[in-house]
Amino acid sequence: MVKKPKGGKIDATLKEKVDAILQEVETAQAQKIKPKELLKSISSYVKKEPAIAIPLIEGLGRIPTSSTATILQKMMDSTKEKGVIKAIKRTQFKLRQKGVRWETKTAKEQSVLHLPKPGEPQGYLGGMDSTGSRIVMVARPRPLGGVRVYFSIINDLEGIQRFEINSLSKKGFQEFVKKSLSSDEFPVVEAPGGYCLHLMKEASEISNRLSISLPQGYKDAENEVQDIKWDGAIPLVYQFIKEEEVRDQVRLLKESGKLHSIAPFSLWFLNPEEVRKYAEAIKEAEETRIVLTPEQKDARLTSIYMEALQEIFPEGKRLLWKRRLEEMAYILLKLGKERDAKKTLSAAVDLKNPFTTIEPNPFMWNFLIKSIYSLMETYYKEKEKGKGTSLIVPP
């Protein structure tokens, strides 16, 4: 939005242009030129230089005629730009004070005033944490300057957790993206604006199903961007890597187990409550006084892991993690890590199928084991301090 400097002054060059257009309008009205024709002329000026729109609208208040009122009303009918509408209403108020009256109802016809349309949306996607939360943002250049920013944190189980709308200057927006949006642990990458809006709408549907109130301003935002559609691949990564490239690729799938050494996977851990009973079973197996051969001990541990894998990840949960890995594959691809992206997508595609006892999904297998041993490490540290001897939390 073009803002006037303090004191109501505008740039001298801009003022000179506005005054010249107003003089042209005044002369044309004296010659009985119809408002519709004058509007065409005004539209052409605004199209060439959008910054004059609001100063020109305000300047029309100095020409208190019914023709001016008609022009302003047609402008009002033709735009959804809030700043422009406010400027028109202010000018209309001044005209009423000067005794000008006009018909507020206008014929349903296409306006000849063509204010610039908002620019193409830019989208931004953040890496997920292990709870399914991530940043999703859409930024859209505004017709009269600046950027309209729709910022959200969404969760694939809880819906929209946070939502904000802000208007920033282009410079302010660039600084926000560069300094505040991304981190090494949870990087943010560019993505099609339409896809980012699709993810926000998915999250809003989750909130609705759970009867969770949507954040203030979200519904208004949906109306503002209703012209932005997405009819591409879902998940987005399949627009760049075809499923056939990674399906049944044994080496890629096997290497996916090593992805936990890179961010954000290195920070992914299952909720301790999900793995607690299995950690307790492993602790008992390791501390048992029964003499077991190494083979017997390994078999016992493997049995516990497989039981945990089957119980923690039934079909619904397995497919949830499939989608999470698909979304993360796109993040890695945009970061220039194509090989890691394909490993991630290979693990995701493999999650279409139930786990096998012979070679379970390497990514999920290592994910489970590191989560269990993270809890056990905490237990042993506490035991050394004499603060506890059990992983079981009393009810």
Q: Give 368-379 pLDDT, tens digit per residue.
A: 999 999 998 887
The mean per-residue pLDDT over the stretch 196-220 comes to: 95
Instruction: Answer whether residue 326 shows pLDDT above 70.
Output: yes
**Residue 391 confidence (pLDDT):** 52
Confidence band, pLDDT 50/70/90 cuts, at residue 110: very low
- Please give the radius of gyration of the chain, using alpha carbons only, rounded to the nearest integer: 30
| Beta bridge partners of residue 141, listed in sequence order | 147
What is the SS3 assignment for 247?
Answer: coil
Instruction: Answer whether residue 388 shows pLDDT above 70.
Output: no
Confidence band, pLDDT 50/70/90 cuts, at residue 114: low
Q: What is the mean pLDDT of the chain?
A: 87
**Residue 115 confidence (pLDDT):** 53
pLDDT above 90: percentage of residues in the chain: 53
Confidence band, pLDDT 50/70/90 cuts, at residue 4: very low
* Residue 226: CB atoms within 10 Å: 9
pTM of the entire structure? 0.70
d(CA 272, CA 375): 6
What is the SS3 assignment for 141?
Answer: strand
Are 237 and 193 in contact by the 8 Å Cβ rule? The answer is no
The mean per-residue pLDDT over the stretch 327-354 comes to: 97
**Residue 105 confidence (pLDDT):** 55
**Residue 6 confidence (pLDDT):** 41
Lowest mean pLDDT among 102-116, 145-159, 189-203, 273-287: 102-116
Who has greater pLDDT, 292 or 81?
81
**Residue 208 confidence (pLDDT):** 96
Are 256 and 344 in contact by the 8 Å Cβ rule? The answer is yes
**CA proximity to 158, closest of 208, 221, 216:** 208
d(CA 380, CA 392): 13
Confidence band, pLDDT 50/70/90 cuts, at residue 16: confident
Who has greater pLDDT, 142 or 339?
339
Lowest mean pLDDT among 183-192, 218-227, 315-324: 218-227
Catalogue the E-assigned strands of the chain.
Answer: 122-126, 133-141, 147-155, 159-168, 188-192
**Residue 117 confidence (pLDDT):** 63
Question: 86-101 pLDDT, tens per residue?
Answer: 889 999 888 888 888 7
The mean per-residue pLDDT over the stretch 254-266 comes to: 96
